[in-house]
Amino acid sequence: MKIMTKKQHFYHIITFGCQMNKNDSERMESILQSMDLKSTEMPENADIIIMNSCSVRETAERRVYGKSRNFLELKKKNPNLIVCVTGCMPGRDKKGGLKKRLHGVDLYFPTRDMVMLPKWLSELNPNLRPIDLEKDYLTVVPRTKNKAQTFLTIQTGCNHFCTYCVVPHARGTEGNRSLKSILDEARDLASQGCLEITLLGQIVNHYIASDPEFFSKTNPYKKNDFAKLLWELNQIEGVERIHWTAPHPMYMDDEVIDALTLPKQINFIHLPVQSGNSEILEKMNRRHDREFYLETIKKIRAKKPDIAIGTDIIVGFCGETEEKFQDTVTLFKECDFDISYNAKYSERSGTVAAKAFTDDISKEEKKRRWFVLQDLMVDIAYKKNQVYVGKQVSVLVDTYKNNTCGGNSSEMKRVNFPGKKENLGTIVSVKINRAAEWILWGDML
């Protein structure tokens, strides 16, 4: 008698964009593994390919179009291959214009609909096992590969509608998870050995709890729910480092700034500014001006003088003259940023900027301004990093190769040092003996 064995099915996920997309991909991994599917690094071996798309830049969308054409060739060899696109592209594609440019895509759905994946996949391939899920995709526990470091989404969507941004169109308006579900997930992560939790939200410091009764009566913060949440997470045994991204300057009130001094808070904050010119900030609908941002940075440094600070900046936004761009340059110098993620403005369909303003800065000029900021950032980063030579930093080790370990310090500085594979997933002390623009080198103590 011949015994029939069940065929193993494989999936391959490609993630574009931000940490929130990475966290969403981890949720999809959890769903697919619950269906008895296994991951493969080789798309040609997959039965299901999912592209988790980003729409922040046009280049990210072009990569999805290119991949979809490549996967058409795989479909010729494997007619049962299912190709899916999720994330920001379908989220903002209300009229289906983006979908028309894709080739051979079987499922095209916004992030919030990932709970329908088992049903849709089993309909396309009856050999796949369907499972029942709750309607809220945030209730799906992410399948993390790095147990020591984990993303924890506390909020999705945004109400601010910055004129250049597709996020509210792609992810909808702001929605906050319940406090209880966040704390339960954090405690579960800690029990599995998680040392560092990074909180994710479109405007993470605007978190508002729907169930504030779960805040401890001993919580010292009284007004800001996000500050209260940070204090609660600091009480969880096992968690050693807490990070969050990305906050908005408007909501960096006294309690949130004070929470930067909590013992488990990393010594770094990423606070996007986008421009150093008040007129451009107003045009972007950022809801704050240059002076407000500078004052916020002063308050942060007064509370925590040695904190490392990063930001986001867009160059070449509509109407940005050379004089207005120079305001960004001077703000960069005054804030003395450790790092900046600089981007050349690209018009995104459906945004207010695309409808109301003219993209009047040439590609060449945008590129020139981008390099001005990049060169400035490199100079500042090199000088700031020399301060660490001879000092001791705390490093969470996340890489090992050829007897060299690597990880981020509490200041989010990249640190390399001689080590062993057993150091992976641990926090160690390293004395720095050499520093470049983006890497510190040292020896473990």
User: Residue 435: which H helix or E strand, with range?
Assistant: strand 427-435
Residue-wise pLDDT for 65-92, tens only, equals 999 999 999 999 899 999 999 999 998 8
Q: How confident is the model at residue 372 (pLDDT cuts 50, 70, 90)?
A: very high
Residue-wise pLDDT for 93-138, tens only, equals 888 888 989 989 999 999 989 989 988 998 899 888 777 776 777 7
Q: Which two tokens stand for residue 172?
A: 């909808």
Q: Checking phi first, is residue 189 left (phi over 0); if not, alpha (psi -120 to 50) or beta?
A: alpha
The residues of the chain that CATH labels 3.30.750.200 are 299-384
The closest of 195, 238, 233 to 214, measured between CA atoms, is 233
Residue-wise pLDDT for 197-254, tens only, equals 999 999 999 999 999 999 999 999 999 999 999 999 999 999 999 999 999 999 999 9
Neighbours of 164 (CB within 10 A): 23
Residue-wise pLDDT for 142-190, tens only, equals 777 778 999 999 999 999 999 999 888 888 889 999 999 999 999 999 9
Predicted pLDDT of residue 3 = 46
In CATH terms, is domain 299-384 a member of 3.30.750.200? yes
Measured distance between the N- and C-terminal CA atoms of the chain, rounded to whole angstroms: 63
Residue-wise pLDDT for 257-278, tens only, equals 999 999 999 999 999 999 999 9
Helix axes 225-234, 179-191, angle to 10 degrees: 20
User: What pTM was estimated for this model as a whole?
Assistant: 0.85
Q: Which two tokens stand for residue 184?
A: 């339960």
The residues of the chain that CATH labels 3.40.50.12160 are 10-136
Grouping H, G, I as helix, E, B as strand and the rest as coil, residue 408 is strand
The residues of the chain that CATH labels 3.30.750.210 are 144-266
The residues of the chain that CATH labels 2.40.50.140 are 392-444
User: Residue 233: which H helix or E strand, with range?
Assistant: helix 225-234
Domain with residues 10-136, CATH architecture:
3-Layer(aba) Sandwich (3.40)
CATH code reported for the domain at 392-444: 2.40.50.140
Predicted pLDDT of residue 1 = 43
254/61: higher pLDDT: 254
CATH code reported for the domain at 144-266: 3.30.750.210
